[in-house]
Amino acid sequence: MNWKRIFYLLVVMAVAGVSALAGVVTGGILVYHNLQDRLDSLAAASSDQIVQAVPASNTSEQVATLNSTDIQTTITQAVQDVGPAVVTVVGTIPGQRTFFGYTGDSTVSGSGVFISEEGYILTNNHVVEGAQDLSVILADGSQQAATLVGTDIYADLAVLKIEGEIPAVATLGNSDVLNPGETVIAIGSPLGDFKNTVTVGVISATGRSIDTGEGYQIENLIQTDAAINSGNSGGPLVNLAGEVVGINTLVVRNTGSGTVAEGLGFSIPANTAQAVAEQIIQQGYFSRPYMGISWQIITPRIAARYRLPVEWGIYVTEVAANGPASAAGIEVGDIITRIGQTTLDETHSYINALFAYQPGDQVTLELVRDGETLEMQVTLAESRVQ
């Protein structure tokens, strides 16, 4: 065997293999550079299209996450803006002397909110009704004496005033643009002890009416499921813009049929509250139309019991001397069934129909007298609700 010849053959084969490998590598490098140049050129020519080609799903996920975070941040910011303007209202109800002795004084409490730099506070009438020695506890825990400027019992609103430095003033928003499902925040002092408590819910509905059991309804209320308890009355209902859109006034717990309800809170719209408050601040009272009669509600049950000729209306029990009704010729025993274009029935009470007008308006009344239907013109006077 010629070992030398075999050795030379192996050397030649090795050199050829290395050359081939080098060629492959070199070719690969050249191809890579050419491809990279092509890609760079393509990127430069269509960079706008490449940027726009970011998957929409990623963008949506980012927006959804940001919106969720924004909502939480907005709620926190709204509370920080309005919270310092919220107060706890406290007062004393004088004791009453009864057959069993003296009942002793009692303490009442509710909530309120500063609406002006002059120290005016908006709250509910039922919070301060009959109370003396009124004061407010500010968000920082300090307490100041308060005076009652005026009230409107039919809207369940009252205005108080304090002297001295005001910690913050809330902004009143436009309650007419509220929509069901909109997030809202209630701030107040439930039970009088848990001051400046914050609860969150939504607008459940607008334009609700609640029968007070006193012959009239509180109309156009905002319904919310934000938790409202005793002591929240008079506190603000706030939107995500940090504006007060309502004044919390009541919660329905029992439907009357024994069913216990949850999440049925109601607030007075901010537009109503602002109109009432401005008039009270300007003149110390809220002006309502006045007819000058005392009356008794007629319902189908009462009509059947006393064999009255109508199922709905009001029975005139007294006519004030020199009042609008007296001047119009209305008499005791008349049954008023319509005021203007509003027929009195289960959903249209006398007070609410009357309050659709202003002092000085001339209104046509429909009434029944001795079985005969009559129409009379009445010019309404002014009643100073204080």
Is 33 catalytic? The answer is no
Is 233 catalytic? The answer is yes
**Residue from 126, 152, 175, 334 carrying the catalytic annotation:** 126
Instruction: State CA 9 to chain mean position distance.
Output: 98
Is 348 catalytic? The answer is no
The phi, psi pair for 155, rounded to 5°, reads -100, -5
Q: Report how far residue 158's alpha carbon sits from residue 173's, in angstroms, rounded to the nearest whole number.
A: 19
**Residue from 233, 267, 334, 349 carrying the catalytic annotation:** 233
Q: Report how far residue 207's alpha carbon sits from residue 81's, in angstroms, rounded to the nearest whole number.
A: 27
DSSP 8-state class, residue 167 = S
The dihedral through the CA atoms of 357, 358, 362, 368 has a sign that is positive
Instruction: State CA 39 to chain mean position distance.
Output: 59
Q: Report how far residue 247's alpha carbon sits from residue 126's, in angstroms, rounded to the nearest whole number.
A: 13
Contact present, 188 and 226 (Cβ < 8 Å): no
**Residue from 109, 152, 156, 267 carrying the catalytic annotation:** 156
Please report, for residues 4, 48, 52, 63, 209, the alpha-carbon distance to residue 60 in angstroms, rounded to integers and kept in the order given: 75, 20, 14, 5, 41
SS (H, E, C) 309-352: CCCCEEEEEEECCCCHHHHHCCCCCCEEEEECCEECECCECHHH
Lookup: tokens for 246: 């309502």
**Residues with Cβ within 8 Å of residue 3, at least 6 apart in sequence:** none
Active site residues: 126, 156, 233
